[in-house]
Structure 1
Amino acid sequence: MFPKVSVIVPAFNCEKFLYKCIESIRNQSYSNIEIIVVNDGSTDNTEKIVLNMKEQENRIIYYKQENSGPSEARNKGISLSKGEYLVFIDSDDTVEPSYIEMLLNEMLISKADLVCCGYKDISDYGVVKYSDFHFNNSATVHSIMEMVCNGTGGVLWSKVFKKEIISKHSLKMDKTLFMSEDLLFVLQYVTHCKSFGSINKYLYNYNRLNQGSISSNISIDYIQNYISVCKSLEKIFLKSNFDTEKAKEIITKRIQDIVIKLVEQQSCHIKDIYRKSALTNVNQILSLNYISNYTNDFSTNKWLYKPFVFFVKNKFNRMSIIYGVNLNILRSLKKKLIKRKKVSL
């Protein structure tokens, strides 16, 4: 009558946020759940927090493994799960009390294979409500695939999955990847779905206050990982007969976004790595064949990023770093002004 929902929480050195995360799950209005916490080799008080909460909550299932990354932690959570439906929650985030109930109700009523909801983005700039899924009952697999590839559509949270589909098609996170492995999982899952549902509510609280920045010393391994993700995307698009031009557009945007992000990071750490090293790193990134094959197609409607796109397309790499330095200064000033305003209030 009331199907079980398995809530999978990968945890690594998250003592600062873990209690609030698990507590928000315990307080769900839908009670037939199991809370699977997979400790991925934490060295802080993560284990102590979970074990203390487990004494008071018999729905918590705890598993500890050697540090193997979030993909392996989530895969372990899937293998341990007993529920008909799966929900993934990151250990530094929280969910609203009706999160699981509303997602599950929509799935049962609409008989959808995937149901999504909106989220609240919590950062230094405040709280902003977002939803990456806007569609009606006529949504197709290809249209949902396109949505998954935009914004945070490809993350595991703010969604409920059917375990039957995951098991039937042996879907797993790729443990060889350390970024965007969730995007590939969601995209592969979508290709096996027949119908979709969404809730116009903001039920997931995405905490960006805990995000660390990309290392100032960007390695080629990092870029190669991203290229591997894009190549996997190409294979999924091809296998599902996704529109070729649309696929190229999506890949181009992803390559553009990571290039701009990495140039910005080099600019942010200019004092630590020196201008010459930053320029060497950017030159190295943009000289990769896979990256350079897409740069001529870069374009953006965002005015702040137009200079980046212009400099990169014309190989003015030094100018892109200088622009990034000045942009970072402006953002730092904006943060200070926001903090001062909060204090004055």
Structure 2
Amino acid sequence: MFGELNPDQSENNTIGVSVIIPIYNTGKFLSEAIESVLQQSFRNFEILLIDDGSNDNSASVCRGYVDSDQRITYYHQNNSGVSAARNAGLSRARGKYVYFLDSDDSLEENFLKTSFDAAEKQNSDILIVGPYHCKRRAGLAALPTCAQFLKREFLEKHPDIRFPEKIQPCEDGLFSHQLLALTSAVGTNPEGIYFYRQHESQNHRMINGNTGSVMSQIPAWINILRNFYREYDLLDTHALHLILFLEHEPFGLRYLAMNLTDQQKSQLHQMIKSYVAELMPYISEDQKKNISRPFLHFVSIEDSSGFQVYYDDYVKKEKMKKKLYFFLIKCIPLKALRTNMRKTMREKFER
């Protein structure tokens, strides 16, 4: 199905990167996503178009590209969700590395080259891509799909770790969190630039508007995590990694960021508090320094009803502290020292 070797392919016919594009009714954006891969400076790739039961013009767009480039293959499946589409693409991938591109987004022309080169140089099972995510490398508990450049051999060693189907949002967080717990070979490529498109029909916008759907899935998230840590016997070594995930996902992205009712907040508080209580015996006092004060307060209180007052006050004080720090930095006479201090403070407050 594939044509002749291009300059980036080695003598043994290996494909460098499998770019998997799950598709559902994104026909008006799809050409831009595919073109951004075809125009990459790195040429040794395959594109797997996984149509998850679209009922717009996505299929015809895909077939047009399949006819024009032998590196592109198209698969259609009944609508089963983005996780099933990504997993279907992964099962067919042949590249040394795998990358998942959303069908309404696009890549800067050197994205694959800088990512492939960085992964090879750093011998990475997981390469974190993008300046924003690379800055947060320390203590990172999960990654969005766009920031994951993955070695396929590593994925094949763990066939039980795949995108959890029938779960969205958090499917990418759960997938990446488990993978991050299974390797220390994690590299970075801050030069990889991903163009993220915002539009009203995006899945996350619709999901975040349906708090009941998200709340109903969170027990399944916890069950996946509990089973994973039990199966791999990781609590003794990775309990902090798990707590940081709970702080990031159900607490940060759901409790704090979503418009939950008081009842939903109370339910979510009890779910998180109960699970963290199971994990705390595995956490040392020194490790607790890596957990934010708001989250430690959140899991220690009996009733969440007064938490928002505490959190608003905390945010206000942090903003005042930031202003004070940067004001004091202005008073430092040495320019080089001022520059370094500003950089340090920005990194501190961006965490």
The alignment's TM-score, normalised by the length of structure 1, stands at 0.68
Kindly provide the CA deviation profile for residues 222-244 of structure 1, in whole angstroms up to 9, marking residues without a partner as x.
Answer: 31312322343355456333454
Q: Does 1:159 align with 2:154?
A: no
Corresponding position of 2:221:
229
Q: Which residue of 2 aligns with 1:114?
A: 126
Aligned counterpart for 2:68 among listed residues 42, 56, 60:
56
- Report the secondary structure of 1:164's partner residue: helix
Q: Is 1:260–2:256 an aligned residue pair?
A: yes
Matched residue type, 1:256: F
1:82 aligns with 2:114: no
Q: Note if contact 2:19-2:99 (Cα within 8 Å) is conserved in structure 1.
A: yes
TM-superposed CA distance for 1:172, in Å, is 1.6
Structure 1 runs of 4+ aligned residues shifted over 4 Å read 234-238, 291-301
Shift in Å at residue 116 of structure 1? 2.0
Quote the offset at 1:30 in angstroms.
1.2
Gaps of 5+ in 1: 119-129, 267-280, 302-308, 321-345
- 2:271 counterpart residue number: 290
Question: Given the alignment, which residue of 141, 147, 170 partners 2:140?
Answer: 147
Equivalent pair of 2:243/2:276 in contact (CA under 8 Å)? no
* C-alpha distance in structure 2 between counterparts of 1:176 and 1:209, whole Å: 23
Displacement of 1:254: 3.0
Matched, 1:248 2:243: yes
- Paired residue for 2:199, among 209, 227, 251? 209
- Map of 2:348 onto structure 1: none
Quote the sequence identity (%): 24
How far apart are 1:252 and its partner, in Å?
A: 3.9
**Matched residue type, 2:151:** K
Change (3 A) 1:295 1:315: farther
Q: Which has the higher helix share?
A: 2
1:65-80 map, 5 Å: 65-80=77-92
Contact kept in structure 2, 1:94 and 1:206, CA below 8 Å: yes
**In the TM superposition, what is the alpha-carbon distance from 1:114 to its structure 2 partner?**
1.7
**Aligned Cα root-mean-square deviation (Å):** 3.3
Q: Hey, what does 1:168 align to over in structure 2?
A: 157
Secondary structure of the equivalent of 1:62? Answer: strand
1:185 to partner: Cα distance: 1.5
| Aligned partner letter, 1:175 | E
Q: Deviations over 1:44-92 (max 9, x none)?
A: 1111111112222221100000000011101110111121211111111
Residue segments in structure 2 that go unaligned for 5+ positions in a row: 1-8, 278-290, 296-300, 313-351
Kept in 2: contact 1:9–1:36 (CA 8 A): yes
What TM-score do you get using the length of structure 2 for normalisation? 0.67
Counterparts of residues 167-186 of structure 1 (less than 5 Å) = 167-170=156-159, 171-186=161-176
The SS at the match of 1:18 is helix
Change (3 A) 1:252 1:31: closer
Q: Note closer, same or farther for the CA distance 1:79–1:194 as it changes in structure 2 (3 Å cut).
A: same
Distance in 1, Cα, partners of 2:78 & 2:25: 13
| Mapping 1:8-19, distance limit 5 Å | 8-19=20-31
Give the partner amino acid of 1:255: P
- 2:132 corresponds in structure 1 to 131
State the distance in 2 between where 1:250 and 1:165 align.
22
Structure 1 contact 39–65 (Cα < 8 Å) conserved: yes
What amino acid maps onto 1:164 in structure 2? Answer: E
Map 1:27-38; keep pairs closer than 5 Å.
27-38=39-50
1:189 aligns with 2:189: no
**Inter-partner Cα distance in structure 2 for 1:91 and 1:54:** 16
CA distance in 2, matches of 1:249, 1:185: 15
1:132–1:234 CA distance, 2 compared to 1 (3 A): farther
Q: Distance in 1 between matches of 2:273 and 2:119?
A: 43
Counterpart Cα distance in 2 of 1:147 and 1:230: 18
| Cα distance in 1 for residues equivalent to 2:292 and 2:135 | 26
Q: Which shifted more, 254-263 or 12-21?
A: 254-263
Superposed displacement of residue 315, structure 1:
7.6
1:100 to 1:249, Cα distance in 2 relative to 1, 3 A? closer
